Amino acid sequence: EAQVTQNPRYLITVTGKKLTVTCSQNMNHEYMSWYRQDPGLGLRQIYYSMNVEVTDKGDVPEGYKVSRKEKRNFPLILESPSPNQTSLYFCASSREGVSAAFFGQGTRLTVV
């Protein structure tokens, strides 16, 4: 089954404790991206990757890092999480940047 898998689905952590949210897709898509969704602000893009070893900033990249060492994986790294990064995070992939996007089920992160 074609899918985008995020882990964990839920995470509560403390300020400053590094964490990684994993994202994996099994569709051999070149394009992957991360979004955060906040009430009243909608979905905003954090980072995206056009292919392996190619990443770029979206609208809200501050406080986040990504890497794309393999085509299927695109982890989101929070080196020093802060409470304002409490949000619902989505990973997405598409065959190219302009094709239909498939989304993961989301990761609800709470930073206390």
Partner 1 sequence: KQEVTQIPAALSVPEGENLVLNCSFTDSAIYNLQWFRQDPGKGLTSLLLIQSSQREQTSGRLNASLDKSSGRSTLYIAASQPGDSATYLCAVQGSNDMRFGAGTRLTVKP
Q: Contact positions toward partner 1, by CB under 8 A?
A: 33, 35, 40-45, 48, 50, 56, 58-59, 88, 90, 92, 97-106, 108
Residues 6+ apart with CB under 8 A from 110: 11, 12, 13, 86
Nearest distance, CB of residue 105 and partner 1, angstroms: 4
Pick between residue 14 and residue 37 the one whose CB is nearest to partner 1: 37
The count of other CB atoms within 10 Å of the CB of residue 4 is 23
Nearest distance, CB of residue 110 and partner 1, angstroms: 13
Pick between residue 65 and residue 108 the one whose CB is nearest to partner 1: 108
